[in-house]
Chains A and B, each alone.
Chain A
Amino acid sequence: GQQVMQIPQYQHVQEGEDFTTYCNSSTTLSNIQWYKQRPGGHPVFLIQLVKSGEVKKQKRLTFQFGEAKKNSSLHITATQTTDVGTYFCAGMAGGFKTIFGAGTRLFVKA
């Protein structure tokens, strides 16, 4: 079945350093979504990418969707302590089932 792999599982950074998490799907995706979940909270939608090679930016966050629509990345420039949380990618290959990656937990040291 469809699988979405996400790496790394954990990332510790010093405040001000950059951070990147990568997402790979075993199948071509119709779209990919990114979420942030704070400890004890619920996943919060960040962005959706639909087009091959699409790049979107939200302030210090840059999201990319691969040309083959099988991989994606989230890059945070100059991390802040407020960036702490788990970042999930979630891919939809068709139908109504969105498959989540295992998430990357980001720790930021002040």
Chain B
Amino acid sequence: AAGVIQSPRHLIKEKRETATLKCYPIPRHDTVYWYQQGPGQDPQFLISFYEKMQSDKGSIPDRFSAQQFSDYHSELNMSSLELGDSALYFCASSSGAGATFFGQGTRLTVV
């Protein structure tokens, strides 16, 4: 069965650079979520989209933005990267309020 696809799997950036993470949700899932997970921490909700429209916003810094495109893939754009942005970034998708399925994550390291 198709799963949530994230790319890249690993990313190394320098401080003040920009990064773009991509997510391809499970086909026919109408909701996409982005989470940030620091070492030893629980996933922190960043933002979600329902049918390509932003539906909810969590603790997403102003330096970050996200969007969902007509083909339902989503991108998380991160600018002016800081050392503290180093984390695992998960994308997840669901159909309505059903089970949420996570991608394997993008490990971002800011040096």
Interface residues of A (CB under 8 A from B): 30-31, 33, 35, 41-45, 48, 88, 90, 92, 95-103
Chain B residue numbers with a CB within 8 Å of A48 are 98-99
Interface of B, helix, strand, loop or mixed by DSSP: strand
**Shortest beta-carbon distance from A57 to chain B in Å:** 17
Task: Assess the A33–B42 pair: CB atoms within 8 A.
Answer: no
Task: Assess the A96–B31 pair: CB atoms within 8 A.
Answer: yes
Task: Assess the A97–B102 pair: CB atoms within 8 A.
Answer: no
Task: Assess the A96–B50 pair: CB atoms within 8 A.
Answer: yes
Task: Assess the A100–B45 pair: CB atoms within 8 A.
Answer: yes
A45-B99, A48-B98 given as contacts; is B43 within 8 A of A95 (CB)? no
Task: Assess the A88–B55 pair: CB atoms within 8 A.
Answer: no
Task: Assess the B56–A30 pair: CB atoms within 8 A.
Answer: no
Chain B residue numbers with a CB within 8 Å of A95 are 55-56
Question: B24: CB under 8 A from chain A?
Answer: no
- Complex CA–CA separation, A51 to B77 (angstroms): 38
A31-B97, A92-B97 given as contacts; is B45 within 8 A of A97 (CB)? yes
Task: Assess the B43–A45 pair: CB atoms within 8 A.
Answer: no
A43, A99, A102, A103: which contacts B102 (Cβ < 8 A)?
A43
Q: Name 26 A/B residue pairs within 8 A (Cβ), A-sorted.
A: A42-B90, A42-B102, A42-B104, A43-B43, A43-B92, A43-B102, A45-B99, A45-B100, A45-B101, A48-B98, A95-B55, A95-B56, A96-B48, A96-B50, A97-B45, A97-B48, A97-B56, A98-B33, A98-B45, A98-B100, A100-B35, A100-B43, A100-B44, A101-B42, A102-B42, A103-B42
